[in-house]
Amino acid sequence: MRWMTSCLGAFVVATAAVTSPVLAEQAVLPAASGLGELARQRGVQLGTAVALDPLETEASYRDRLAREFASVVAENAMKFEFLQPEIGLFDFRQADRLVNFAAEQQMQVRGHTLVWHWALPDWLEDRNWSRDELLAILKYHIKTVVGRYRGDIVVWDVVNEAIAKDGTLRDTLWLRGIGPEYIELAFRWAHEADPDALLIYNDFGNEGFNAKSDAIYQLVRSLLEKGVPIHGVGLQMHLRADRPPDPSEVAANFERFADLGLQVQITEIDVRIRQPSRAGDLERQAQIYRDMLQVCLQAENCTSFTTWGFTDRHSWVPTHFEGWGEALIFDKNYQPKPAYRSLLEVLSETQAEP
Ligand code: XIL
């Protein structure tokens, strides 16, 4: 283990913050006045996942983003393989661009994600590491990344997707190499690196009550009992327009986490439509967005509503779910869809309440 630590220490390169010339020129945009501002008044951070390419090359992308959202998360740029492409060599350029953009726009930044079985660099996956080596790698990664953005990134998805559909721990490199303790260690290290950051366990398929959401509940409860610094549960909510979750069940699920003193955050919502879409699909989709935002606004412990992208022009859905698309709230030409209007309506209605 000692060789590992010293080797890592010797090779770390923390690249300087680089502001892209494109961003610097066009950074003066109006502060958020759309959905994000309305939601902020209700105590919810309304945000979206951001892809760095269109952020740098498309003015319409930047404008919509700046006008409508109060918070951003990197769609990919803060994942392990992007931040640490070589052992001990960190590349923060893309992540820094997003953090700088957010600072200029006075937006909050969510950090995503420190520990996941996906988006790992080849150097990490292609070798059999000893337990001590893996512990050193994970600790070093978390401390370096969280430490770098201490104060700038106020909430981290510390562990992502650690539980399988049947409620058992997912078989991952981290579980195999370290054992179940990797989860609590990750939270402890993140907390040491930034004691003020809000630390989240994030997963999908956990909107209502099922084996997985029950297992997540048991996991976070046992972490709390052990004194592990965890502050909330993230619900990704990659949903289908033809399978709406039951809003009252989602609300009840949120409540059991509130009873543990935990926040909940909707971290990656999108609502995909089978292609080609049919009459009524966009309205069904709008209803789901509306219901989920409503549940969040009504739950005192729900603090974030984040969409996984905002324009159908740039969405992971068509590439990852063959035959599906149109999952977001703006169309390919950045025009608002019924889903956008449903969010605006909910925020306006709620605002009128005492
Ligand atoms: C996705 C990105 O959107 C894609 O661009 C990438 O190819 C794969 O990852 N759950 C998560 C996100 O936590 O990080 C994933 O993002 C979507 C599912």
Q: Please check the confidence at residue 18 and state whether its pLDDT lies above 70.
A: no
Sign of CA dihedral 138, 231, 252, 303: negative
- Comparing 11-25, 59-73, 274-288, 323-337, which segment has the lowest mean pLDDT? 11-25
Per-residue pLDDT reduced to its tens digit, 106-144: 999 999 999 999 999 999 999 999 999 999 999 999 999
Q: Please check the confidence at residue 17 and state whether its pLDDT lies above 50.
A: no
Rounded average pLDDT over 216-222: 98
Residue nearest (by alpha carbon) to ligand 1 atom 12: 75
Residue nearest (by alpha carbon) to ligand 1 atom 16: 75
Q: Please check the confidence at residue 102 and state whether its pLDDT lies above 50.
A: yes
**pLDDT value of residue 234:** 99
Residue nearest (by alpha carbon) to ligand 1 atom 3: 316
**pLDDT value of residue 350:** 54
Rounded average pLDDT over 201-206: 98
Q: Residue 76: CB within 6 Å of ligand 1?
A: yes
Distances (CA, A) of 247 to 209, 258, 287: 12, 16, 11
- The string of DSSP codes covering 65-111 is HHHH-SEEEESSTTSHHHH-SBTTEE--HHHHHHHHHHHHTT-EEEE
Query: Residue 288: pLDDT band by 50, 70, 90 thresholds?
Result: very high
**pLDDT value of residue 201:** 99
More confident site: 33 or 172: 172
Q: Which residues contact residue 190 at a Cβ distance below 8 angstroms, ignoring those fewer than 6 apart? A: 114, 142, 146, 156, 158, 197, 199, 229
Tell me which residue has tokens 């913050």. Answer: 17
**pLDDT value of residue 349:** 87
Q: How far is the CA of 1 from the centre of ligand 1 (A)?
A: 32
More confident site: 26 or 305: 305
**pLDDT value of residue 5:** 38
Query: Residue 33: pLDDT band by 50, 70, 90 thresholds?
Result: low
Per-residue pLDDT reduced to its tens digit, 305-343: 999 999 999 999 999 999 999 999 999 999 999 999 999
Q: Mutate which of 94, 316, 317, 328 to test ligand 1's pocket (most atoms within 8 Å of Cβ)?
A: 316
